[in-house]
């Protein structure tokens, strides 16, 4: 029982870190897309 209690929080923390990484990737991709769009409009 204690073993399962130790494993589950670790999996949840891994999923949480993976989710934050994916959100960071989406934010970076959106920022690059916005910069490219702005450059296309300006040029």
pLDDT digits (tens, 9 = 90+) for 14-34: 767 777 888 899 999 999 999
Using a cut of 0.85, tell me whether the model's pTM lies above it. Answer: no
Given the structure tokens 């300006």, which residue do they identify?
A: 42
> Which residues make Cβ contacts (< 8 Å) with residue 21, sequence separation at least 6?
none
Higher pLDDT, 38 or 8: 38
Overall residue count recorded for the chain in this entry: 43
User: Where are the domains positioned within the chain?
Assistant: 1-43
Give the pLDDT of residue 6. 57
Q: Give the chain's mean pLDDT.
A: 79
Q: How far apart are CA 4 and CA 11, in angstroms?
A: 11
Among candidate residues 3, 1, 28, 41, the one with its CA nearest the CA of residue 11:
3
């Amino acid at each position: 029982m204690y073993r399962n209690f130790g494993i589950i929080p670790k999996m949840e923390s891994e999923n949480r870190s993976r989710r934050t990484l994916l959100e960071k990737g989406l934010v970076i991709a959106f920022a690059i897309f916005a910069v490219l769009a702005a450059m296309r409009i300006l040029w």
